[in-house]
Amino acid sequence: MSFNNLDTLYRQVIMDHYKNPRNRGTIEGDDHMSIDMNNPTCGDRIQLQLQVEDGLVKDAKFDGEGCSISMSSASMMTQAVKGKRVEDALAMSKLFSDMMQGKEIDEQEFDLGDIEALQGVSKFPARIKCATLAWKAMEKGVDEQGQS
């Protein structure tokens, strides 16, 4: 592997999200849920906040610390699910998980936008957990709300 291969991992748009994260911070007020999730093998941490109303993700913000892949993925995830219906957010999460496993995905289903830049992560098995951390946090939050 050369640095050219590294470029498939560290795409410009990923670095942009890492350096200038979107939706980083906290949601004001108390009508939102908070999900803490970490990757115990490496110490990456995310605190995700979701505001869900009438089955719609009205707002999503995150904070935390981690590598370029985990933090850029969190930034992209919040961008992607904001304004989406919960079932669509979960369907995107499934699509993302398939993408990480190197499966063929139907790009017509959703406009993945910046997220497609993370496709290269599937070639770096040790880093897949970094990319999926924020999505897992989102799924957990939605799941817990569904149960309450």
Partner 1 sequence: MDIKAVRQSFPILDQEVNGHPLVYLDSSATSQKPVSVIEKLDEYYRSYNSNVHRGVHTLGTKATDEYEGAREKVRRFINAHSTQEVIFTRGTTTAINTVASSYGRAELGEDDEIVITPMEHHSNIIPWQQVAKATGATLKYIPLQADGTIDLKDVEETVTDQTKIVAVMHVSNVLGTINPVKEIAEIAHRHEAVMLVDGAQSAPHLKVDVQDLDCDFYAFSGHKMCGPTGIGVLYGKRALLNDMEPFEFGGEMIDFVNLYDSTWKELPWKFEGGTPIIGGAIGLGAAIDFINEIGLNEIAEHEHTLVNYAMERMREIDGLTIYGPEERAGLVTFNLDDVHPHDVATVLDAEGIAVRAGHHCAQPLMRWLDVSATARASFYLYNTKEDIDRLVEGLQKTKEYFGDVF
List 24, 27, 34, 45, residue binding partner 1 (CB under 8 A): 45
Q: What is the largest CA-CA distance in the chain?
A: 50
Q: Which is nearer to partner 1, 51 or 68 (CB)?
A: 68
Binder to partner 1 among 21, 35, 44, 61 (CB under 8 A)?
44
Structural contact between residues 80 and 112, judged by C-beta atoms closer than 8 angstroms = yes
The DSSP symbol for 24 reads: B
Look up residue 137 and give its two tokens. 């946090």
- Our finding on whether 19 is near partner 1 (CB under 8 A) is yes
Q: What DSSP assignment string belongs to 49-68?
A: EEEEETTEEEEEEEEEE--H
Judge contact between 136 and 37, C-beta under 8 A: yes
Q: Closest CB to partner 1 among 19 and 103?
A: 19
Which residues, numbered 47-86, are part of the site for partner 1 (CB under 8 A)?
A: 65-69
Count of residues in contact with partner 1, rule CB under 8 A: 24
Does 36 interact with partner 1 (rule: CB under 8 A)?
no
Task: Decide: 122 and 100 in contact? Cβ < 8 Å.
Answer: yes
Residues in contact with partner 1 by CB under 8 A are 1-3, 5-6, 9-10, 12, 15, 19, 41-45, 65-69, 124, 126-127, 130
